[in-house]
Amino acid sequence: MVTLFTTRRPDAEVRQHFNELRTIASIDQQVDAFHAAQPKAPDPVIIEHPIEPGDSQLLGGGMSIHAPWKRD
């Protein structure tokens, strides 16, 4: 059996653990608040092109997706 001698109070480690948990919870709340405050990214613009006659009509029409970036 190993006996450790320390000058700390017996409940000091427990209190330190709970303080660390509170700090982590506080940081998590701040991170969540930061992400909630950020503006929502605009949805991409999806364009479906008409089906062209010929062999490719079996595949359907073309499709393109554009990112609607805002220019400041």
The reported pLDDT for the residue numbered 37 is: 94
Q: Is residue 50 part of a domain?
A: yes
pTM, full prediction:
0.45
Taking the C-alpha atoms of residue 22 and residue 5, their distance in angstroms, rounded to an integer, is 28
Which domain, by its residues, includes 39?
12-66
Report the number of distinct structural domains present in the chain: 1
In a domain, 60, yes or no: yes
Residue 1 lies in a domain: no
Domain assignment of residue 28, yes or no: yes
Residue 71 domain-assigned? no
Strand stretches in the chain, DSSP E: 45-48, 63-66
pLDDT in tens, 6-59: 777 878 888 888 889 899 999 999 999 999 999 888 888 999 988 888 887 888
Examine residue 24 and state whether it is found in any structural domain, yes or no. Answer: yes
Tell me, yes or no, whether 61 lies in a domain. Answer: yes
Q: Does residue 52 belong to any structural domain of this protein?
A: yes
